[in-house]
Amino acid sequence: MSMTFSGQVALVTGAAAGIGRATALAFAEHGLKVLVVDLDSAGGEGTAELIRQAGGEALFLPCDVTKDAQVQQMMTQAVDAYSRVDYAFNNAGIEIEKGRLAEGSEAEFDAIMGVNVKGVWLCMKYQLPLMMAQGGGAIVNTASVAGLGAAPKMSIYSASKHAVIGLTKSAAIEYAKKHIRVNAVCPAVIDTDMFRRAHEADPRKAEFAATMHPVGRIGKVEEIAAAVLYLCSDGAAFTTGHSLAVDGGVTAF
């Protein structure tokens, strides 16, 4: 079954690198116009330029997803540019926690919840009315396998991803009859620049991360992008409120 699309415009947050960049490129490869959204202007513009170099159409929109006014302005710019947003991948997120719950700080809590939860909520807050007005759409939010179970020494991050799944399921039910599907993708450990930076000082940790997955390796950004495109495509027309684990078998235990 090939993935087909009924719309023309995709929006990706956190698109400056990693999963976001890979997904933006994948949307463009399928012929969609792509709105590249990130706080990192250099990286975001770099993603848009890669799309243009490959013959696609892309526009970079700088945005801090934790700021209501900026998200609202970003969505206004998206409509001004392309009139509609058919698919939205709310992917912007951070992971800065490395200790047990009682060792965490208020600053860590606010930062993680601000981007991972408030950011997703704000994006959907402005995407959903637009999609209702245009007759439908599809949204995919980035959660994590940490949102499907426990994540020792990452309790705040885990809580934030559980919250993303809660937002996803609730929105899916609220807007199902408005022809808007809302799903989440739940990656395990993925080979991103962030992962490499975190393990460059101790390669043994990177090797251990691979052994955590029954398939014997960590995931690729392109594999998450493929899952996102599937959830947006007509092939998933009967799928909403679902949290899709793309995890090399981690959650099968």
Residue 6 contacts residue 30 (beta carbons within 8 Å): no
Residue 44 contacts residue 62 (beta carbons within 8 Å): yes
| Residue 240 in tokens | 């909403």
Buried b or exposed e, range 191-205, using 16+ CB within 10 angstroms:
bbeebeeebeeeeee
Buried b or exposed e, range 59-88, using 16+ CB within 10 angstroms:
bbbbbbbbbeebbeebbebbeeebebbbbb
| Residue 232 in tokens | 């947006």
Q: Classify residue 121 by its DSSP letter.
A: H
Residue 174 to residue 172: CA distance in whole angstroms = 6
User: Among 87, 157, 175, 230, which one carries the catalytic annotation?
Assistant: 157
Q: Is 175 one of the annotated active-site residues of the chain?
A: no
SS (H, E, C) 26-55: HHHHCCCEEEEEECCHHHHHHHHHHHHHCC
Q: How far is CA 174 from CA 22, 45, 182, 246, in A?
A: 30, 35, 10, 25
* Torsions phi, psi for 145 (to 5 deg): -65, -20
Q: CA 252: distance to chain centroid?
A: 22
Catalytic residue annotation: 157
